[in-house]
Amino acid sequence: MTRVLLVDDDVELASMLREYLEQEGFEAEVVHDGESGVREALSGRFAIAVLDVMMPRLNGVEVLRRIRAASRLPVLMLTARGDDIDRIIGLELGADDYVPKPCSPRELVARLRAILRRVADNSAESTSDGPIVVGPLRMWPERRSAQWQQQPLELTSTEFSILEVMARHAGRVVSKSDLSELAMGRPLARFDRSIDVHVSSIRQKLGARPDGDSWIQTVRGQGYQFVKA
């Protein structure tokens, strides 16, 4: 059974989510404070963590920061509905996705499964291909590892998936809708800025081209394009 860590100080909500997850075939454990969340997330016992942003003392953003300093454990953030700041900060720190609260347990499970499918990445396409090579970028999808200019490129699971899609389509525009479907495993929601934030983070990690432009170009009204060297 896939083990899920729930970190939320709302005892009633966490209990309800745990019960639903267990009905859906997951094994779920709950902790109600950020410090316990960090400790359990780094224990190696869980496949994924669900992390609430609004918690007393150590909030979810700081918990995520501490997790990312030591682990690539997939993390799904629970954010207040309409609070774009928390979502953007969470994604910039390496959250794999977010769900606004109040959320339906069914949506939460769908997002969890989408993330876990990406992490597993056991498709025939990924395991049968050699490395993807585009200019100074090399990616090994079966190992979920990448190099940039012959140096290790540290990417979150979602960043890796997004960059992989763009690298496979290098020189061509990939729409945000396609990136959401292919890389995040879900349709692009209206007003969803997740793709933009992840792409911005990838751009920062790649740096600028020799001519000063970005390796990932925004094509207005269409999507993003990874530029061939």
193/199 Cα distance (integer angstroms): 10
Residues 43, 86, single domain; the answer is: yes
* Crossing angle for the helix pair 84-92 and 194-206, to the nearest 10 degrees: 30
If asked whether residues 39 and 114 sit together in one domain, one would say yes
* CATH assignment of the domain containing 106: 3.40.50.2300
Q: Which residues pair with 28 in a beta bridge?
A: 4
Task: Write out the two tokens for 146.
Answer: 């990448």
| Domain with 111 in it | 2-120
Length of the chain: 229
Same domain assignment for residues 194 and 128:
yes
| Residue 90 pLDDT level (bands cut at 50, 70, 90) | confident
The answer on 128 and 209 residing in a single domain is yes
pLDDT tens digits for range 155-173:
988 899 999 999 999 999 9
Q: How confident is the model at residue 129 (pLDDT cuts 50, 70, 90)?
A: low
Query: Do 75 and 15 fall into the same domain?
Result: yes
197/102 same-domain check: no
What is the count of structural domains for the chain?
2
Query: Does residue 129 share a domain with residue 115?
Result: no
Q: Which residue, 71, 12, 17, 16, is CA-closest to 45?
A: 71
Strand-pairing partners, residue 3, are: 27
Residue at which a domain ends, from 71, 102, 120: 120
Could you tell me if 107 and 11 lie in one domain? Answer: yes
Considering 94, 120, 146, which residue would you say is the last residue of a domain? 120
Nearest Cα neighbor of 80 from 96, 57, 103 is: 103
Residue type, 124: A
Task: For residues 111 and 14, state if they share a domain.
Answer: yes
Please report, for the domain that includes residue 153, its CATH number: 1.10.10.10
- Summarised one tens digit per residue, pLDDT across range 141-155 is 877 889 999 999 999
95, 120, 145 - which closes a domain: 120
Q: What is the pLDDT of residues 6-22, one digit of tens each?
A: 999 999 999 999 999 99
Report the C-alpha gap between 65 and 74 in whole angstroms: 13
Inter-residue contact 170 to 228 (CB < 8 Å): yes
Asked whether residue 63 falls in the same domain as residue 10, the answer is: yes
Smallest CA-to-CA distance from 142 within 119, 121, 157 is with 121
Do 12 and 111 lie in one domain? The reply is yes
> Amino acid letter at 135?
G
For 172-213, how does the pLDDT look when each residue is reduced to its tens digit (9 = 90+)?
999 999 999 888 888 888 778 889 999 999 999 999 999 999
Q: Residue 141's closest CA among 180, 167, 110?
A: 167
147 compared with 56, residue with greater pLDDT: 147
Q: Verify that 53 and 91 share a domain, yes or no.
A: yes
